[in-house]
């Protein structure tokens, strides 16, 4: 998988979220833990870690990153507000809870909120939901007035129900034109102020959890998880915006580091997770390993689609959750063909994720962010990684899809218990405040 051509890498860390394994429950979340009180006296800013080595400033802080490095937080429309979402209606029945409302730097526009849930003549203008547009106009204006740059995700998995009912949404290539019209609408309405656009959030999760495992909406367990990731099409030069995509991937280590087969299995897993979406953007076709193993079930790009895909991004967002071991596994000839069995890899977890505490007291999360940012700083300084920004997942405690409100990943606490939705600083947000000074 060649990604040398990447010029601008924006890295978005979903820092506190779930571990995944292909051979296990994809949510993989540990039960809430109260064990979050290690290192409780040290605020972590300016600590004297000798492993930092030469060239590290003390106290550790913003200055350890390039001058124009972007620090932000992230959220998604459905996870923080109850706009008119549709495909997720079914899901929220499972584990419901009160709403948290808020805004982050990386926030998403809910497609169903800005377009009416009807097919009307004169599309798209007559489908525009002016109340939804007003909501996002206010949000964007408010962010800018506070000096916060909005990075807007167009599709964070909430599809208007009408497109699902009409033609099965992303299983039909008609989605391409509808997505283009929707993106065009957002550019026209918000592009005078929004300069950073993310087309799709985690196409891997949307495709795999929604279509292969069937645990996320639209809850389909199909043999074929095709995803049209042909995006944007419309670029308004006059707005001078940048358009990227947010991918997610685990890191895979060979289970037996001396085994050539396990080494190949580790690369293959990354090809099936990251390469699936990154390679077409780079070379215009799927990774060789996927082509070889998936065969005729893998769609092909036409020559003109390939040309459109190659280099069609201004930045790449990367969400990462965990690392796992990969062992080569003999492919079962009799297995029902599926994305889940195609890679012929046995993936096992390194460890289970500790969600970092469910209270405003979240010292584990704070330490996690601190240690992680030190590693990130080293990657930039020592390894010349071209990383432009870091967005913490997440801004507020929010609705974690199938987990509902049981788990909290925010650096700001939201009081659901008494229904007040009061927000409180956690140890992690206090740490960030000092770190950013």
Ligand X SMILES: *[C@@H]1O[C@H](CO)[C@@H](O)[C@H](O)[C@H]1NC(C)=O
Which backbone phi and psi does 39 adopt, to 5 degrees? 55, 40
427 touches ligand X (CB under 6 A): yes
Q: Which is nearer to ligand X, 111 or 431 (CB)?
A: 431
Q: Calculate ∠ Cα 301-303-305, nearest 5°.
A: 55
288 touches ligand X (CB under 6 A): no
Q: Please, what is the minimum distance in Å from the beta carbon of residue 372 to ligand X?
A: 6
Q: Which is nearer to ligand X, 161 or 319 (CB)?
A: 319
Tell me which stretch binds ligand X (CB under 6 A): 24-32, 120-128, 235-243, 360-368. 360-368
Q: Which is nearer to ligand X, 45 or 273 (CB)?
A: 45
343 touches ligand X (CB under 6 A): no
Give the HSE-up count for residue 26: Cα atoms under 13 Å, Cβ half-sphere: 18
The distance in angstroms from the start CA to the end CA of the chain is 39
224 touches ligand X (CB under 6 A): no
Q: Which residues contact 356 (CB under 8 A, 6 or more apart)?
A: 16, 36, 362, 364, 365, 368, 409, 428
Distance in angstroms (rounded) separating the CA atoms of residues 92 and 401:
8
Q: Which is nearer to ligand X, 6 or 52 (CB)?
A: 52
- According to CB under 6 A, which one of 62, 195, 224, 361 is a site residue for ligand X? 361
Q: Which is nearer to ligand X, 161 or 427 (CB)?
A: 427
- According to CB under 6 A, which one of 45, 91, 363, 387 is a site residue for ligand X? 363
- According to CB under 6 A, which one of 27, 73, 199, 346 is a site residue for ligand X? 346
Q: Check residue 333 and report its DSSP letter.
A: T
223 touches ligand X (CB under 6 A): no
Task: Show contacts with ligand X in window 370-399 (CB under 6 A).
Answer: 371, 374-375, 378
Q: Which residues contact 142 (CB under 8 A, 6 or more apart)?
A: 103
Distance in angstroms (rounded) separating the CA atoms of residues 80 and 387:
27
Distance in angstroms (rounded) separating the CA atoms of residues 326 and 303:
34
Given 3-state DSSP classes, what are the helix, strand and coil percentages for the chain, each rounded to the nearest 5? 35, 15, 50
Q: Which is nearer to ligand X, 43 or 403 (CB)?
A: 43
153 touches ligand X (CB under 6 A): no
Can you give the binding site for ligand X, defined by CB under 6 A? 40, 43, 49, 51-52, 327, 329, 346, 348, 360-361, 363, 371, 374-375, 378, 427, 430
């Amino acid at each position: 998988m060649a990604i040398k051509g990447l010029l601008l890498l924006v890295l978005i860390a979903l820092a506190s979220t779930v571990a995944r394994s292909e051979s296990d429950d994809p949510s993989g979340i540990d039960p809430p833990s109260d064990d979050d009180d290690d290192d409780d006296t040290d605020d972590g800013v300016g600590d004297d870690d000798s492993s930092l080595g030469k060239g590290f400033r003390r106290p550790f802080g913003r200055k350890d990153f390039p001058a124009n490095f972007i620090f932000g937080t992230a959220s998604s429309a459905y996870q923080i507000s109850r706009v008119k979402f549709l495909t997720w209606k079914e899901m929220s029945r499972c584990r419901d809870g009160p709403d948290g409302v808020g805004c982050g730097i990386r926030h998403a526009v809910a497609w169903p909120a800005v377009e009416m849930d009807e097919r009307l003549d004169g599309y798209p203008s007559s489908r525009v939901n002016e109340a939804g547009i007003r909501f996002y106009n206010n949000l964007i204006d408010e962010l800018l007035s506070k000096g916060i740059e909005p990075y807007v995700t167009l599709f964070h998995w909430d599809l208007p129900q009408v497109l699902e009912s009409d033609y099965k949404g992303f299983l039909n290539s008609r989605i391409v034109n509808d997505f283009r019209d929707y993106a065009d609408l957002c550019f026209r309405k918000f592009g005078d102020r929004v300069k950073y656009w993310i087309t799709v959030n985690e196409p891997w999760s949307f495709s795999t959890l929604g279509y292969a495992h069937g645990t996320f909406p639209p809850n389909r367990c199909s043999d074929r998880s095709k995803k049209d990731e042909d995006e944007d099409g419309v670029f308004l030069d006059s707005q001078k915006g940048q358009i990227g995509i947010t991918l997610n991937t685990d890191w895979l280590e060979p289970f037996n580091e001396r085994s050539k087969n396990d080494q190949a299995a580790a690369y293959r897993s990354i090809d099936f997770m990251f390469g699936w979406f990154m390679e077409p953007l780079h070379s215009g076709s799927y990774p060789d390993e996927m082509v070889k193993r998936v065969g005729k079930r893998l769609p092909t790009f036409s020559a003109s689609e390939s040309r459109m895909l190659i280099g069609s991004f201004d930045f790449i967002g990367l969400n990462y959750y965990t690392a796992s071991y990969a062992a080569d596994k003999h492919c079962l000839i009799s297995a029902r063909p599926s994305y889940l069995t195609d890679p012929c890899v046995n993936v096992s977890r390194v460890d289970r994720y500790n969600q970092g505490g469910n209270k405003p007291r979240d010292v584990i999360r704070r330490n996690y962010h601190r240690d992680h940012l030190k590693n990130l700083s080293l990657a930039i300084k020592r390894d010349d990684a071209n990383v432009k920004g870091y967005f913490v997942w997440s801004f507020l405690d929010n609705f974690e899809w199938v987990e509902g409100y049981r788990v909290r990943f925010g650096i700001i606490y939201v009081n659901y218990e008494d229904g007040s939705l009061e927000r409180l600083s956690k140890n992690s947000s206090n740490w960030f405040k000092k770190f950013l000074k």
